[in-house]
Structure 1
Amino acid sequence: MTAQKSVLQLSVHEERIRKKVWATVSKFSGVTSIVMDDKTGKMTVVGEVDVPIIIKKLRKICNAELVTVEVVKAPEKKPEPEKPTPDKPAEMVAFPVMHFNNPYQYHSSYANSYYQPCDNYRVVVEEPNTCVVM
């Protein structure tokens, strides 16, 4: 679907109806821009939308009629002349730092981890009032 510029004639007499119209049209996916002239009551909707569905929804709020529909073409861009790229100096590659060549390789950051390895530790709690649920 191509972008369209649709002009709708609306009979909007109150501010709350105007707000409902704005909210209804802005909820449609594909709407790029909305412009409304309060004096003439014309609303311009630009985007990839289905105009009959918009009019059907707006007729539940106020009197709406389709005035014109135009296909909007994207402005043609002039091709920019290519700029000559300056010569790049030769890149020097130092010895790259390689971590984890092997997935099972030991890394020094493991030694500073939060959990320290447990050797032969035993925890004994000697409290006379231990609670046991039976």
Structure 2
Amino acid sequence: MTAQKSVLQLSVHEERIRKKVWATVSKFSGVTSIAMDDKTGKMTVVGEVDVPVIVKKLRKICNAELVTVEVVKPPEKKPEPEKPTPAKPAEIVAFPVTQFSYPYQYHSSYANSYYQPCDNYRVVVEEPNTCVIM
């Protein structure tokens, strides 16, 4: 089914009936947009819907007549000019660190720390330029 633009003539004199008409039309699946001119009483429904079914439902609420039905053409897409592909940035090659290649390998920095029991931690560092947090 293709998208259609349908114009309906409605006799809506009260705000309560107008709200019921909007709610009824908006519940149909496939409705893309709804517009209503309050002065003339014309409602425009756009979408892939069965228009006679909408008119049948609206006649239970108010006086409704089908004025026009048009097929909506999809907007034509203009071909986009091809953009030049940007140059690829230089790839950075990272080499693995060899001294920590095994997760449980012994390292000399582990020998500098001593943990005391009872949640009191003491760090002993013999290097002068290191940061110590206590």
* TM-score computed with the length of structure 2 as normaliser: 0.68
User: How far does residue 94 in structure 1 lie from its aligned partner after superposition?
Assistant: 3.6
Question: RMSD across aligned C-alpha pairs, in angstroms?
Answer: 12.0
Q: Which moved more, 1:115-124 or 1:76-85?
A: 115-124
Unaligned runs of at least 5 residues, structure 1: none
Whose Rg is larger?
2
**Structure 1's 125 and 112: CA in aligned 2 closer, same or farther, altered over 3 A?**
closer
Q: Tell me: CA distance 1:62–1:119, structure 2 relative to 1, closer, same or farther (3 Å).
A: same
Paired residues of 2:112 and 2:125 also in contact (CA < 8 A): no
Alpha-carbon distance in 2 for matches of 1:117, 1:104: 23
Runs (4+) off by over 4 Å: 95-134
Q: CA deviation at 1:95?
A: 6.2
Distance (whole Å) between structure 2 residues aligned to residue 9 and residue 108 of structure 1: 89
Shift of 1:91: 2.9
Q: Do the aligned partners of residues 127 and 35 (structure 1) sit closer, same or farther apart at CA in structure 2, a change above 3 Å counting? A: same
Shift of 1:132: 57
| Distance 1:21-1:85 versus aligned 2 partners, 3 A rule | same
Distance 1:53 1:62 in 2: 14
CA distance in structure 2 between the aligned counterparts of 1:54 and 1:11, rounded to whole angstroms: 15
Q: Is the 8 A contact 2:113 2:123 kept in 1?
A: no
Structure with the higher strand share, 1 or 2? 2
Query: Aligned equivalents of 2:110 and 2:129: distance in 1?
Result: 40
Report the CA distance shift for 1:81/1:107 in structure 2 as closer, same or farther (over 3 A): farther
- 1:7-40 CA-to-partner distances (Å, cap 9, x unmatched) read 0000111110000000000011111110001111
**Structure 2 regions of 5+ residues with no counterpart?**
none
Q: Structure 1 vs Structure 2: percent identity of aligned residues?
A: 92
Between 4-13 and 123-132, the greater mean CA deviation after superposition: 123-132
Distance 1:121 1:64 in 2: 84
The size of the alignment, in residue pairs, is 134
CA 1:92–1:49 in structure 2 vs 1: closer, same or farther (change >3 Å)?
same
Deviation per CA, 1:40-75: give whole Å up to 9, x if none. 110000001110110010000001010000000111
